[in-house]
Structure 1
Amino acid sequence: MPADISDFTGHRAVLAELDTTVRTPAPGGQVVVVNGMPGVGKTTLVVHWAHRHRDRFPDGQLWLSADAYGPTPPVSPEDALGRFLRALGVPADRVPAGGEQRRERFNQLLAGRRILIVLDNVRNSDQVRPLLPTAEGCVVVVTSRNRLMSLTIRQGIPSVTVPPLSDEDRRTLLSRVIGTARAAGEPGPVETLAQFSDGLPLALRIMGEHITARSRASVADLVDELWGRLLDSPDDHEDEEDDAKLSTVFAWSYNELDPPAGRLFRLLGLHPGRNVSPTAAAALLGAEPRTAERLLDALAKRHLVNHDAARRYRLHDLLRRYAAHRAEQDEPAECRRAALRRLLDWYLLSAVNAARVLSPHRPPVPDLPDDDTVEPLRFDGDAEAQRWCEAERANLAAVVRSAADNGFHRHAWQIPGAIHDAFGRYGRQDDVLVMHQIALTAAEADGHQIGQIGTLNNLGWTYFALHDYHRAASGFEAGLRLARRIGATGPVNVCSHNLANVHLKTGEVRKAIEIFKRVLAGCRESADLLGQAATLHRLGDAQQQLRRYDQAAACYQEALVIREGLGAWRDQAVTHERLAALRLRTGDPEGALRHCELALALQERARDDATRCDILITGADAERALGRYPAALERAYAAIALSDGIADSRRRAAGLAVLADTFLARGDLPASYDHCLEALGIIGELTGSDLDPVLDRLLKIENVVAPLRPAQRIASIALRAATSTGSQTGAYGGA
């Protein structure tokens, strides 16, 4: 829930009506719609009301900005439910794919809880209806510019309208902003300004800040100035009366800006994302980040932008529309296009720099623009690069769409290609899927065949991560056909490698081995060391599945030698972990621990939380096999904590299995049973043949510690579909 404001003013009758409405019992939970004109303060009022009643909702509060009128498309009900499930503790990889399944899980989690749900800035009833819970103890408050009459007529949901502030409240709020002493000294001009605002809190705050900044001027003189400005711009927003009321107030502050700040404000209307950093604003402006931040702070003081988070700023959606309108009026078309190109260049090159840190040995997207017009971000390490990718994730999705809509086709496929590997390390993949679908159309429009191949591979990988293996294979096969047609050897190897991964994870191990061997020969012929190592590693996985342990070890060792020569720290750690797992499987726990220690040391150079989690799980299992139970428990608990941090349920289940086995070996049967049942519950919500060994282990443990309950077996026993994140991303060169 956003923070409350300290000087909330007025709307006592609306707050009382909300109190009464929510107190009235209603079957299936309580819902109320709060509507009103733009800028009237709906969101601020609901936030204030929610903070007053926090004690009524001991199980928490959920807040969703539905973005009905923002720069990005409105949040779909499916996406909203996914966000709520993650907020309620469901790991990202266990959020159901379908909207109905998400809704069912949402209602299950809310049963018996008292939670406040706020759906802010909603467009229509269809956006709301799937999000209404059935739990009796929950309350839903919806804010919208529209009345949402369908909810009222069909479901009897009450509606509360937020009117403009009363005359008294207008004067009170303006006096608080400019200072009560100054307001008391000129009551007439203050009254006039209060009437100019039409009772809109945003307008009052903007006018008040303007007056505060001109401490030596009389309020009366500023009233005359405002009146003149109003007469100068009667037709800025003829299409919407409500916007016109605010646009005149916006114009007052806008016209007072010095030229650099005014230009930045205009150009911010071109930014397609939800918030903006000083460095992104600097790219728009073609200036230094320090200059952009100073100008952003100047805009914030006039309430033309708001502080969104640390060193990030957000425009109210009405101000964004006004900024875009001013840009269209005051900025030549060629300047607007040049600013947008700079912004796209900055996002693309910053994403490329992040990818170079996170995956330094992967080939970059081809044909990048020069960086002589922008200063992209550079990153000192994995953590910093990953933080930037996470912070900009929603913005990057919006930027890709904007690039495609404005004819910057190359940017529209290069940006998803650059950030694909980073976004594949965490979180949901549905937004990545949309980006790659846009990217494929853009690459085709650009006529860039290598771009098309790389995008097809990334699109295939995303389907792969979503367990849609048919579409994954289709993407890899389409990329392979195009790569063969143009004679691109490296992309042929990448497409074939990824297709073999599909076969490996769907149980066609021998078919996968045949393809891997052809890819390996091709990589050796082209002296592609990175491709050789990746393929040898996967061959090791395939041989291990067939229990050909000597051949698997030979493949892993050869891959490791190449990766050591390349200095690929992260990849070395991955191979050491697989060697550790192999040693453990073949009865050498001491050897397994040696590989684990080597892998952990490499982790200090190249952070990869998923691999570190695997290393800890394998190390814990090796300690258990050696009878070192305290050390085994310590590593297993650390692995489980890490799996929670990266929202990886597969790894959590594997860690719980080791815990259950360790407690069993210690003779603590209740603890073993508890961890076993938790792991079985997790596996019941997942798919993939890679889970089979964990499932088999858990069933054996449960058979020992307690009678197996059929109801607990049902969800687990049918899981045989394969899943992995082992495909290679992109096909811009190498394998």
Structure 2
Amino acid sequence: MTLRIQVLGPMRVWLDDEPLPLGPPAQRAVLGLLVLAGGQPVGLADLIDAFWGDRPPASALNVIQTHVKRLRRLLEPGRAPHSRSEVLPYLGNGYRLGVASEQIDIMRFRRLVRHAAGGGEVAALTEALALWQGQPFADVPLLADHPRVRPIVAEHRAALGRYGAAMLAAGAVDRAIGAFEEAVTADPLDEAGQARLVRAYAVAGRRAQAFTTYHAVRRRLADDLGVDPGPELTAAHQELLNEDSRAQVAVSSAAAVSRTVPAELPPDVPGFTGREHELGELDRLTLAPEPDTIVITVVSGTAGVGKTALAARWAHRARARFPDGLLYIDLRGYDPEQPVAPGAALARFLRSLGLPGEQVPSDVEERAARYRSLLDGRRVLVLLDNAASVDQVRPLLPGSVGSAVLVTSRDRLPGLVVRHGARRLDLDVLRREDALQLLRRLAGEWATAQNAAAEALAAQCARLPLALRIAAELVHQRAPGALTEVVVELDDHRRRLDLLSTGDPHSDMGAVFSWSYRDLPPAAARMFRLLGLHAGTDVDGYAAAALIDGEEATARESLALLAGRHLVQRNGDRYGMHDLLRAYAKDLAVKDGEADLPRRILEFYLSTAAMAMDVLYPAERGRRPRVPRPARALPSLDEATAPAWLDTERANLVATAVHAAEHGQAWFPVQLALVLLRHLESGGHYADAVTLHEHALRAAESVADRHSAAQLRINVGVVAIQQGRYATASAELQQALTLADEVGDSLVRVRALGNLGHVYQWQGRYAEAARTLAEVVTMARNADDRVTEARGLGNLGQVRLRQGRHADAADDLRTSVAICRDIGDAVGEAYALVYLGHVESALGRYDEAGGHHEHALTLFRGAAEPAGEAYALDGLGGVDLLRGDHERALGRLSEALALFRRIGERAGEARVTNSLGEVAAAAGRPAEARVHHLSALRLAEEIGHRFEQSRAQAGLTSVAAVRSLRPAGLPGRSLTPVDARTGGSGSRRSRNPPGPP
């Protein structure tokens, strides 16, 4: 049995891949002290001293010995009583840890760093840094500041520095910056590390961030140590100031591409056994391609043969050879109802590669083209799991050499081989020796003692890894003689489950599934059947409780039992099913009289989604359907956990809505779409929004619900606006107006009109936008709808600001601020204040403008609204520039740029980049100003942001006259009376660029 110890982070120990409970902190500390000794004995006196110093209690020796005794019992469960311990032997007057250094992460870390050199340096450092899971002994307070622990932290910083330098030399600037940032976070006063970070920012073209970093360190050195920067940090700063270096940085900035490096591989399979030949074949097929070819490898084989496990194991071994990232998706090709469409897979990959959600094209062919462009010149591994056909795979293939594609499928995919030159590895069942080794590892001593029965069981399970795991779990549930009993049962039931037969008599797993299911307690058996009806990919304890109409604790007990028998797969606190198991479970449910999703799971999802939306967007509560709360327990959600719940469950919610729409449960997709719109569009989840609303609209029309259809058409129009499809948006909104008039709903009408005004503003039709929004404000006042009135006034103020009608804009915005304060809408008030600040700047009242922006900044930070915070900082930076305070403006704008990049708001990034160009021009740095404006122009052209395009072009045309430009400009954000994320809704953020100036 093999022990594996982790101390780089929380302290963990595994015995043959099974985690062990290490007990109280003091017991963990004893083991930790022995780990730190590096295989040398630790005397009892030293152990006592570490615990109590020079004042040990009379029981000290007994306490240490008790901890050691319990550790021995834990780490050596098979050791005979009173026999010598091999893991914690008593030597001299103390104890020694008898575990191979390769099985202890700190020892492996040091070995890898020590031997990292030459061509293998990056791979060795990558592997070493991957071992780091946090501060050493993070959950052992006694060792947090131990003299032998502090050097480990320094070793980690040094390894990060070496890795960053290697990445910088290889041109992987973003990965280098990540390493340098992590290193200086651990020691902010490390001048050498800060100097490396400043130079890396410069190479990446992030000069403003480089200056900000230098000045922050300089101030900290002065405040904390009373010293000036040393020669290395000073030299890095001087390079930034040097004109020649600045020109070189401009070239590097133009050439450097900021790339997201995805790392999406599924976890390696515990207890993976055998397959050395197949792993070698994958090395040969995938890593030694012919010149000028795209490397595609298909791993094909029957269900349960271990295709995914093999692919994941190989990908983890080869990850260092793909420095630009690892993409993974389960295509669910054999799911009878929910395979992943190529368009959905492309949308996910585009976001993984750094493309913001709002930039994902709606057309599948356009997505594929953008995907191929992003992969051009990169070395990325694309792992496509559970593919059903060539058509599902073909759109996901890169278009140029460098990357590799690894596909797993039950089909041999001959079209992929013939047309695209794929190489194929046909995966057979495990070799006899490997199957027996897996059984011994899983079933323990029984498989060793009853070798003949073990061989029979391996043969009956067709030597399929999944079947062997389930059968071994059955053995564990029974008496010591169970191995023979299981063999007999397998013979009795081999032909029971035709549905799950793969057509190969050597791989009929249905019998194995049936035994495992038959022995389940009634509650777990019912849970298993109902999980087969679930339309999504996985569930948590709350959803499982709704499925069975029971308590969460009972549901979790059943899920844990199912996971222990390999009937569900556990991932953290979520549980999913292999597609064959899901089909089998669904068949059992249908036979038991459960033909469709229970209404209670639909009510659970709708109620929890509504609760999450109420937490995040309270001002819009009255505009969403009133959803009754069920009697059962729901998750406890607040502003921190509600977004996580929505993100985690989004795929399940959409899949469930699609299923309900197609099975006559129209109420669910209709209400879910009306509840969930703001989350989908504010997060840039447009593909999901389109799917949900298409099915919801079809469902509403199928039951002649014209009122809901009108609201849903508005939602479809909102999503189209976010995607820049203004003609489509206008058509949908006009249809919504017609339906609103037919049903006589003035609220729906005003919402449709407000969004039409939004479309007009983006199209630069300011006069029409002003007339429409003025009508919306009048209607809202007549209806005493103060939320809509505040929103409409905020939007109207924006339009009038763009028209140059400053006095009218100020009146509208001040009224909007007053209403927002009265109804408690802090976010709506803050956005109105930002625009009011721009009005004051345009009128030359800088003190008033700065006050508005400062107040808005305070409100945004209190509401955790990062986009608004960035816009307020941009406004403050503009005021600082007008006052001539260039250094302060640079600091605020650099902070705003970092926020915009973190949340993926590209319109804001273009805006602030232009502002940085104006600061550079005003400070007499024309070359730097040109770099910023060029960068802003490229970004604005890419997203279709006409206002920032013109602003960048003006800056480039006359850098010398930059002081005469209006540096504050107009913020890239627009509000609609009902649907804007910023206009009095208490909502999170907007990603829409502004319309033309």
Q: Does 1:377 align with 2:635?
A: yes
Specify which of 944, 949, 960 is matched with residue 695 of structure 1.
949
CA-CA distance at 1:358 after TM superposition: 1.7
Cα pair distance change 1:238/1:128, threshold 3 Å: closer
- Report if aligned partners of 1:505, 1:723 keep a CA contact under 8 Å in 2: no
1:258 corresponds to which residue? 521
- Report if aligned partners of 2:606, 2:668 keep a CA contact under 8 Å in 1: yes
Q: Does 1:729 align with 2:986?
A: no
Cα pair distance change 1:235/1:73, threshold 3 Å: closer
How far apart are the structure 1 equivalents of 2:558 and 2:885?
Answer: 60
2:598 corresponds to which residue? 340
CA-CA distance at 1:52 after TM superposition: 1.9
1:318 corresponds to which residue? 580
2:459 corresponds to which residue? 195
Q: Does 1:272 align with 2:535?
A: yes
How far apart are the structure 1 equivalents of 2:897 and 2:335?
Answer: 39
CA-CA distance at 1:605 after TM superposition: 4.1
1:298 corresponds to which residue? 561
1:161 corresponds to which residue? 426
- Structure 2 counterpart of 1:7, which letter? G
CA-CA distance at 1:238 after TM superposition: 6.4
- Structure 2 counterpart of 1:375, which letter? A
Cα pair distance change 1:725/1:399, threshold 3 Å: farther
2:850 corresponds to which residue? 593
1:508 corresponds to which residue? 765
How far apart are the structure 1 equivalents of 2:501 and 2:575?
Answer: 28
Please list the CA deviations of residues 406-425 of structure 1 after superposition, one character each: whole Å capped at 9, or x if unmatched.
Answer: 21101111001101111111
CA-CA distance at 1:471 after TM superposition: 1.4
Specify which of 308, 312, 316 is matched with residue 51 of structure 1.
316
- Report if aligned partners of 2:795, 2:977 keep a CA contact under 8 Å in 1: no
2:733 corresponds to which residue? 476
Please list the CA deviations of residues 435-485 of structure 1 after superposition, one character each: whole Å capped at 9, or x if unmatched.
Answer: 111111111223333212211111111111111111111111111111112
CA-CA distance at 1:24 after TM superposition: 3.6
| Unaligned 5+ runs, structure 1 | 708-721
Secondary structure at the counterpart of residue 510 of structure 2: helix
Specify which of 466, 473, 480 is matched with residue 209 of structure 1.
473
CA-CA distance at 1:576 after TM superposition: 1.4
CA-CA distance at 1:625 after TM superposition: 2.1
Please list the CA deviations of residues 3-27 of structure 1 after superposition, one character each: whole Å capped at 9, or x if unmatched.
Answer: 2224222333332322222214153
Secondary structure at the counterpart of residue 270 of structure 1: coil
CA-CA distance at 1:431 after TM superposition: 1.8
Larger Rg: 2
Specify which of 590, 595, 599 is matched with residue 328 of structure 1.
590
Correspondence list, 1:507-656, <5 A? 507-656=764-913
Aligned-residue identity in percent: 33
2:83 corresponds to which residue? none
Specify which of 596, 599, 617 is matched with residue 359 of structure 1.
617
1:716 corresponds to which residue? none
2:701 corresponds to which residue? 444
Please list the CA deviations of residues 662-718 of structure 1 after superposition, one character each: whole Å capped at 9, or x if unmatched.
Answer: 222223334333322221221121124xx41x22332232234599xxxxxxxxxxx
- Structure 2 counterpart of 1:281, which letter? A
CA-CA distance at 1:562 after TM superposition: 1.0
CA-CA distance at 1:359 after TM superposition: 1.6
- Structure 2 counterpart of 1:200, which letter? L
Secondary structure at the counterpart of residue 377 of structure 1: coil
- Report if aligned partners of 2:500, 2:580 keep a CA contact under 8 Å in 1: no
How far apart are the structure 1 equivalents of 2:370 and 2:828?
Answer: 37
CA-CA distance at 1:113 after TM superposition: 2.6
1:486 corresponds to which residue? 743
- Structure 2 counterpart of 1:224, which letter? V
How far apart are the structure 1 equivalents of 2:512 and 2:738?
Answer: 59
Q: Does 1:386 align with 2:386?
A: no
Q: Does 1:37 align with 2:302?
A: yes
How far apart are the structure 1 equivalents of 2:751 and 2:374?
Answer: 42
How far apart are the structure 2 equivalents of 1:226 and 1:365?
Answer: 58
- Report if aligned partners of 1:71, 1:274 keep a CA contact under 8 Å in 2: no
TM-score by length of 2: 0.68
How far apart are the structure 2 equivalents of 1:155 and 1:493?
Answer: 54
- Report if aligned partners of 2:293, 2:401 keep a CA contact under 8 Å in 1: yes
Q: Does 1:283 align with 2:546?
A: yes
- Report if aligned partners of 2:737, 2:752 keep a CA contact under 8 Å in 1: yes
Q: Does 1:25 align with 2:293?
A: no
How far apart are the structure 1 equivalents of 2:710 and 2:376?
Answer: 47
- Report if aligned partners of 1:347, 1:396 keep a CA contact under 8 Å in 2: yes
Secondary structure at the counterpart of residue 619 of structure 2: coil
Cα pair distance change 1:479/1:397, threshold 3 Å: same
- Report if aligned partners of 1:457, 1:495 keep a CA contact under 8 Å in 2: yes
How far apart are the structure 1 equivalents of 2:545 and 2:559?
Answer: 10
1:134 corresponds to which residue? 399
Cα pair distance change 1:442/1:116, threshold 3 Å: same
| Unaligned 5+ runs, structure 2 | 1-264, 962-971, 986-997
2:936 corresponds to which residue? 679
How far apart are the structure 1 equivalents of 2:389 and 2:711?
Answer: 38
More RCO (CA 8 Å, sep 6+) = 1
How far apart are the structure 2 equivalents of 1:302 and 1:543?
Answer: 66
- Report if aligned partners of 1:178, 1:209 keep a CA contact under 8 Å in 2: yes
How far apart are the structure 2 equivalents of 1:70 and 1:667?
Answer: 63
Specify which of 248, 253, 267 is matched with residue 511 of structure 2.
248
CA-CA distance at 1:725 after TM superposition: 6.8
Please list the CA deviations of residues 522-565 of structure 1 after superposition, one character each: whole Å capped at 9, or x if unmatched.
Answer: 21111111111111111111111110000001001111111111
Please list the CA deviations of residues 103-146 of structure 1 after superposition, one character each: whole Å capped at 9, or x if unmatched.
Answer: 34333333333222211111211222222223322211111111
Aligned residues: 708
How far apart are the structure 2 equivalents of 1:121 and 1:706?
Answer: 59
- Report if aligned partners of 1:656, 1:675 keep a CA contact under 8 Å in 2: yes
Please list the CA deviations of residues 251-306 of structure 1 after superposition, one character each: whole Å capped at 9, or x if unmatched.
Answer: 11111111111111111111111121111111111112222122211111111111
- Report if aligned partners of 1:276, 1:313 keep a CA contact under 8 Å in 2: yes
1:713 corresponds to which residue? none
How far apart are the structure 1 equivalents of 2:864 and 2:530?
Answer: 37
TM-score by length of 1: 0.91
2:111 corresponds to which residue? none
- Cα RMSD of the aligned pairs, angstroms, is 2.6
Cα pair distance change 1:542/1:106, threshold 3 Å: same
CA-CA distance at 1:365 after TM superposition: 6.2
1:495 corresponds to which residue? 752
Structure 1 residues 410-419 or 159-168, which shifts more? 159-168
- Report if aligned partners of 2:357, 2:686 keep a CA contact under 8 Å in 1: no
Cα pair distance change 1:239/1:95, threshold 3 Å: closer
Structure 1 residues 579-588 or 646-655, which shifts more? 579-588
